[in-house]
Amino acid sequence: DVLVFLPGAGEIRRVQERLADLPARVLPLYGELAAAEQDAALEPDPGGARRVILATNVAETSLTIPGIRVVVDSGLMRRSVFDPVTGMSRLETQRISRASADQRQGRAGRVAAGQCYRLWSEGAQRSLAAFTAPEIADADLAPLALELAGWGAADAAALRWLDAPPAATLAGARDLLRRLGALDAAGRMTPHGQELARIPAHPRLAHLLVEARRRG
């Protein structure tokens, strides 16, 4: 079986269409798929047919896919990056790190000796970052800031982190929450903030929902 790493669902659908005539089962695998479709990619074919599994980096470390002997790696991933200028997150297609490339390569050797085909040059390999930056370094921290306020943790530096949130980004997130009325001037959670915290959505969207209900 073959495991192909692609950056996102759109690329997976396009490659799946291109491989429609391939004499093998071509299966997608990404986080938003229905459970039954994910299970189909994670289980051997009952009739022994060869499978080509088109996956995002969800298959990089967290899942074991039986039967994989070949990996084809595009060297790309899609990542949510917070833009402090707009105050919003956007998805960016980025090169993977060398550590991710090694993880993906290892998928070809889980069950037996295998092959990994990387779709980039040796020179490009040397230019890759050693490791992928932790998500907290690039994320929108407004949900975290609201949760910390709910805990009564006014000073994030007093907590022990694997990777501490960037101070400037966290300060910007708290400023947003004050403007939404979720925090008071001292950084404590307001009753409105408590309402927002009960809604499983970003504080901006939770504020929109609460205000829409209030205004009828």
Res. 62 pLDDT band, cuts 50 70 90: low
Which residue from 205, 141, 139, 134 is spatially nearest to 172, judged by alpha carbons? Answer: 141
Euclidean distance between CA atoms 194 and 163, whole angstroms: 27
Please say whether the beta carbons of 40 and 90 come within 8 A.
no
Res. 207 pLDDT band, cuts 50 70 90: very high
What is the chain's mean pLDDT, rounded? 92
Q: Encode pLDDT of 101-146 as tens digits.
A: 999 998 887 777 899 999 999 999 999 999 999 999 989 999 999 9
The pLDDT of residue 78: 93
What does DSSP assign to residue 216?
-
Q: Encode pLDDT of 69-113 as tens digits.
A: 999 999 999 998 888 777 788 889 999 999 999 999 988 877 778
Cβ burial of 214 (10 Å; 0-12, 13-18, 19+) is: exposed
Euclidean distance between CA atoms 152 and 193, whole angstroms: 13
Res. 147 pLDDT band, cuts 50 70 90: very high
